[in-house]
Amino acid sequence: MFHKLQQKWKVNGVNLLLILITFAIGGSLCGILGRKILGWINVDKGAAWIILYIIIMTLIWPTCVLFVSIFTGQLGFFKKYISKILKRFSGSAAPRQVTAPADSAFRLAIFASGAGSNAAQIIQHFKNNPEVRIEMVVCNKPGAGVLEVASEAGIDKILIERDRFFKGDGYVPLLKQHRITHIILAGFLWKVPSTILQQWPNAILNIHPALLPKYGGKGMYGAHVHEAVIANGEKESGITIHCVDEIYDNGDIILQVRCNVEETDTPNSLATKIHRLEHEHYPAAIEQFLKAKKALNKNVVSQS
């Protein structure tokens, strides 16, 4: 049961324990306050008392758990939790993609570790495309912004664990259960294990914030890349979209887009330029890659 709750709420074991403690203490506080309020109202116990008690408990419960969550360090979780409950009651929750995918549709899994800005762009790009379905978002970091991106888009989200990913089945059975055809890395900071690479050869794409083969390899991600580019006095940088293989940043290059590096640039300002290029080109490059693969598959079928 606890493992299912971890998966559902996308939290680790410690946070799950703190969340359950918050529920328990918040519920007890809610019950105490509810009875006190009814005492002030001076209602005789009976049907009316029970109805009023339920109404009061429902109204004050969010305030009680939010108050307790401040002390357990789970305020962020409960803000989102209560917000989702309110959206369900108001009917304003974001609907899941309703476009029915064709049997031959590409089904993508987006792997991400951070805020999810690239994931959001990809989801939006394919939102109404019946031939490409974003099936799930896979994340290795509890509380990462990309999980909220997935929730708002109505897309399934999976929080993965290190041991199973690297030493176990690599979540291959789960990915196959969802009929995943391609994996898209969008700021995913773990190296993809051979367990997955063997099952999806030439079907895993990544975007790197530099012009490979320069500034690639282990440890070269995010700010580390931009700091190195500026420290070495490079006149240009950019993005590289490539296939993923067993070696860091080594697969076949699909697209490179360049930008100038000015003398006044800082790692932050260069990162802004790079993010702009990523958002503009990554979704379109994925689409072109999939179209090319579909055309190739058609040729193979027609020739057989």
Active-site residue list: 208
CA distance 19 to 17: 5
CA distance 243 to 222: 19
**How far from chain centre, in Å, is Cα 64?**
29
Closest CA to 242 of 185, 176, 182: 185
CB atoms within 10 A of CB 199: 15
Closest CA to 17 of 76, 73, 84, 66: 73
CA distance 37 to 29: 12
CA distance 267 to 290: 33
- What is the C-alpha end-to-end distance of the chain, expressed in Å? 50
CA distance 255 to 241: 5
Q: Is 217 left (phi over 0), alpha (psi -120 to 50) or beta?
A: left
